[in-house]
Amino acid sequence: MKTLILGAGYAGLAVATKLKPTPGLEALMVEQNAYHTFETRLHEAAAHNTRVTLPLSPLLRGTGVALEQAQVEHVALDDQEVKLKDGRVLTYDTLVVALGSVTNFYRIPGLAENAAELKQLSDADEIFNFVNRAYTTEYQGNRDIVVGGAGLTGVELVTELAQRAQLLSKERGLPPFNIYLVEAGPKILPILDEGLRAKAQRTLEEYGIHILVGHRLMQATADTVTVQTASGEQKVIEAGKIIWTGGIQARDIVSGSKLEKGPGGRIAVDDRLRAKGYPEVFVIGDMGLALNQDGKPVPTTAQHAGQQGRLTGKNLLRLAKGEELEPYEPTTLGEFVSLGGLMAVGWMKLPWNQKLAITGGIAHVMKRASEWRWRASID
């Protein structure tokens, strides 16, 4: 069974590290980087240059999975072919598509051309280098930062940037830059309940972050954004760096005559995480539109990507042995938001569907614990 695993993000790596040498199973991972990136910690790399990658080769030892460092250009499900950027074409018997997502700029004029993203290591490097440049005496331009989108990524990024700005201000005797968090919706962090959200908002305000909820980003230039309030009032904010974290969509590189797609371009899958109409193709992580027990889309989070990857790895072994596949039963163990330093807010799941709200240092430890569990699961 010739198996291709496309992508080494949370989902793809979870698949590969669940495999082991098995008669009849020949597995190849295709990934453009030689490392796995902890995407949930990119905000730390952007502010503090924290190391957030792990080399892939040691992680794949003992799995029987070979690594091909290459970029996928197109996946043709009807032909069972994967075309690579360098022109090569790979074929498969079984395919795992775990190529993640790309930023959704929602066709906002000038945004894609002028805003930085926070999807990969090079994005974090770009932001980190700007902050360092802005705190030199030679820098003459605008030093302020506008971050669009007040979900997990946006909130975690602005708190880390504010912390970094305070540190550099003390070291170099320059005033901190302004940070604007722009959100079209009525509140930040809609995934949290009101009490935790209020705690997070107070923390952001203590950092001096300008929170602009109910402000839709209308257009961007190289050094400005135009925002509009619910009443229609528009204003222009000048900035030295614009960063967009306001949405994602699945990579649009998979084609097939029987393919079904849902919101955000995600590919509809069955209860074994196989693309509908293509039982030999598993689609997991941000690209897959899996449903929970209530028939609602499973969130595009690292914990769910890991769950899907681990199940798919086990199911590939079952497939190679001629055994029946296990169904996908998603569970959300909790959600924690880092707010800089040792501060975090979030909740963890308790028995009987109860939630325990946690804030402060304990929440920070719980967030780190989830990352340690992930690290342990792929070692």
Q: Is the pLDDT of residue 215 over 90?
A: yes
Q: Which of 162, 189, 161, 199 is nearest to 43 (CA)?
A: 161
The secondary structure element, H or E, covering residue 227 is strand 224-229
d(C-alpha 339, C-alpha 150), whole Å: 13
Which of 199, 225, 244 is where one domain is finished?
A: 244
**pLDDT tens for residues 366-377?**
888 888 888 889
Which of 244, 265, 293 is where one domain is finished?
A: 244
> If pLDDT is split at 50, 70 and 90, which confidence band does 143 have?
very high
Same domain (yes/no): 232, 176: yes
Q: Residue 110: inside a domain, yes or no? A: no
pLDDT of residue 350: 87
d(C-alpha 191, C-alpha 304), whole Å: 15
Angle at 225 between CA 122 and CA 100, to 5 degrees: 35
pLDDT of residue 354: 86
d(C-alpha 346, C-alpha 197), whole Å: 9
Residue 332, both tokens: 């959300």
Q: Residue 140: inside a domain, yes or no? A: yes
Residue 234, both tokens: 């528009």
Q: Residue 18: inside a domain, yes or no? A: yes
> Residue 342 half-sphere exposure, CB side, CA atoms within 13 Å?
3
Residue 258 domain boundaries: 2-103+248-332
Same domain (yes/no): 143, 91: no
Q: Is the pLDDT of residue 353 over 90?
A: no
Q: Residue 116: inside a domain, yes or no? A: no
d(C-alpha 298, C-alpha 288), whole Å: 9
Same domain (yes/no): 223, 259: no
Counting residues of the chain whose pLDDT is more than 70, the rounded percentage is: 100
Same domain (yes/no): 224, 252: no
Which of 200, 221, 244 is where one domain is finished?
A: 244
CATH number at residue 204: 3.50.50.60
d(C-alpha 80, C-alpha 331), whole Å: 32
Contacts of 204 (CB under 8 A, 6+ apart): 155, 158, 159, 162, 181, 188, 211, 339
The pLDDT of 143-147, averaged and rounded, is 97
What is the chain's Cα-based Rg?
22
Q: Residue 113: inside a domain, yes or no? A: no
Is residue 267 within 8 A of residue 260, CB to CB? The reply is: yes
CATH number at residue 47: 3.50.50.100
- For the chain, the domain total comes to 3
Same domain (yes/no): 369, 347: yes
Q: Residue 112: inside a domain, yes or no? A: no
**pLDDT tens for residues 264-322?**
999 999 999 999 999 999 999 999 999 999 999 999 999 999 999 999 999 999 999 99
Same domain (yes/no): 369, 348: yes
Same domain (yes/no): 318, 357: no
pLDDT of residue 341: 81
The pLDDT of 118-146, averaged and rounded, is 95
Q: Which residue has the tokens 């938001």?
A: 337
Same domain (yes/no): 271, 355: no
> If pLDDT is split at 50, 70 and 90, which confidence band does 135 have?
very high
Same domain (yes/no): 34, 73: yes
Same domain (yes/no): 312, 207: no
Q: Is the pLDDT of residue 228 over 90?
A: yes
Listed in order, strand segments (DSSP E) in 34-106 are 35-37, 53-55, 65-69, 72-76, 81-84, 89-91, 94-97, 101-103
Same domain (yes/no): 224, 168: yes
Q: Residue 79: inside a domain, yes or no? A: yes
Counting residues of the chain whose pLDDT is more than 90, the rounded percentage is: 89
Same domain (yes/no): 326, 341: no
